Amino acid sequence: MLSLKLPRLLSINQVPKGYQEQGILFGYRPPRSSAADCLLSVFQMTNETLNIWTHFVPTWYFVWTLVGRLRGPGGREDPHAWPLLAYLLTCCVYPLASSCAHTFSTMSTRTRHICYFFDYAALSMYSLGSALAYSAYVFPAEWVNSAFHHCYVPVAVFNTVVSTSLSCYSRFLEVERPRFSKASRMLAFVYPYLFDSIPLFYRFYLCAVESCTEAAILVHYKHTVFAFLTCFIFASHLPERLAPGHFDYIGHSHQVFHVCGIISTHFQMEAIMMDMAERRDRLLPASL
C-alpha cells in the first residue's frame, strides 16, 4: 500500500548558515530534499508553508484577471490595452515564481540559488511591467511626449537588467557578508520602484497642491502605503526578531511581506485600470 512520509523538520542549528533565517528557530526542511519531498512539504506545516501559499493562491487571482481582460471587449485586439496586458502578465509571473522558489529551495544549494534567481528576475520583470503601464496610463498629462517620457521605459529596461544582476549577485554574499547582501538586495528592488513611481509621486504632489478629485489617486495612495509597508517588513524582520521562535510557522515577516506585497499589487492594478478607463479618450502614446 502506498505510504507518503512527510519530511522530518529541523532546528536552526541543524541546517547550513545559508538556509538560516533571522528569528526563525524551528520548522526547517532538510537540505538536499528530493523534489517529491519539496512538493509534499507544501502540505506540511513548516516555516516555508505559508510563504508558498501566500503567493501561490494570489497567482490565480491575477491569472483570472488577465484572462478576463483577454476575453473582454477589445482584449488583445485593442492596442490601448496592450501595456495593461503586459503588466498583468508580470503580476501573474512574479508570485508564481516566488511560490516555486520557496517550494524547491531545499533541494541543494545550487538549486536554491537558481530558484531565487528566477524569483528575482520575475520581480524585476514586474517592475518593468509597472513601468509600461505607468507610461501608458499614469503619466501626468503635461509630461506626455517629454524627454523624460521618451526615455522612461528604456531606463526601466536598463533597471530591470541591473536589478536582476545585483539581486542575484547578493545571494553569493549571504554567508560571509549578510548585512551587505541584504542591503544590496533591497537596493536592487527599491530603486526601480522609486524610479517607476516618479510620475505617480508628481501626481500626488499636484493633488496636494490643487486638491484634485481624481478617483484613481486614492487607490494609488493605498498601493503606495502597502508598498512602503512591504519594504519595511522585509527589512525589519518583525515580529520574529523581537520574539525568536514564536513566529516560526505563522506570522513571521516573510509571510506578512508576501501578503502586503500582494495587497499593494492589487491596489496598483485597480488604480491602473481606473486611469486607463479615464484616459481612454485621450490615449497616451504607446510605450511598447
Beta bridge partners, 11, equal 26
Q: What is the pLDDT of residue 286?
A: 45
Q: Does domain 31-282 have CATH number 1.20.120?
A: no
Cell digits of residue 151: 526615455
Q: What is the pLDDT of residue 288?
A: 44
Q: What is the pLDDT of residues 21-49, one digit of tens each?
A: 999 999 999 999 999 999 999 999 999 99
Q: What is the pLDDT of residues 188-199, one digit of tens each?
A: 999 999 999 999
Q: What angle do CA 218, 185, 122 make, to 5 degrees?
A: 65
Cell digits of residue 282: 485621450
Instruction: Of 12-21, 39-48, 207-216, 224-233, give the lowest mean pLDDT range.
Output: 207-216
**Pick from 1, 28, 34, 27: which is nearest to 15 by CA?**
28
220 marked as binding residue: no
The pLDDT-based confidence of 113 (bands split at 50, 70, 90) is very high
Q: What is the pLDDT of residues 76-112, one digit of tens each?
A: 888 999 999 999 999 999 999 999 999 999 999 999 9
d(CA 78, CA 200): 25
Instruction: Compute CA 227 distance to the chain's CA centroid, rounded to the nearest angstrom.
Output: 10
Find out whether 217 and 177 touch, Cβ atoms under 8 Å. no
Find out whether 262 and 123 touch, Cβ atoms under 8 Å. no
Within the chain, residue ranges assigned H as helices are: 35-41, 49-71, 82-104, 109-133, 147-170, 178-196, 198-210, 215-236, 253-278
Instruction: Break the chain into its structural domains and give their ranges.
Output: 31-282
266 marked as binding residue: no
Q: What angle do CA 19, 24, 29 make, to 5 degrees?
A: 50
Is the pLDDT score of 209 beyond 70? yes
Q: What is the pLDDT of residue 17?
A: 93
**Pick from 30, 12, 31, 32: which is nearest to 22 by CA?**
12
Q: What is the pLDDT of residue 72?
A: 84
d(CA 83, CA 129): 8
Cell digits of residue 275: 486611469
Peptide linkage before 239 cis (omega within 30 of 0): yes
237 marked as binding residue: no
Find out whether 80 and 288 touch, Cβ atoms under 8 Å. no
Q: What is the pLDDT of residue 73?
A: 80
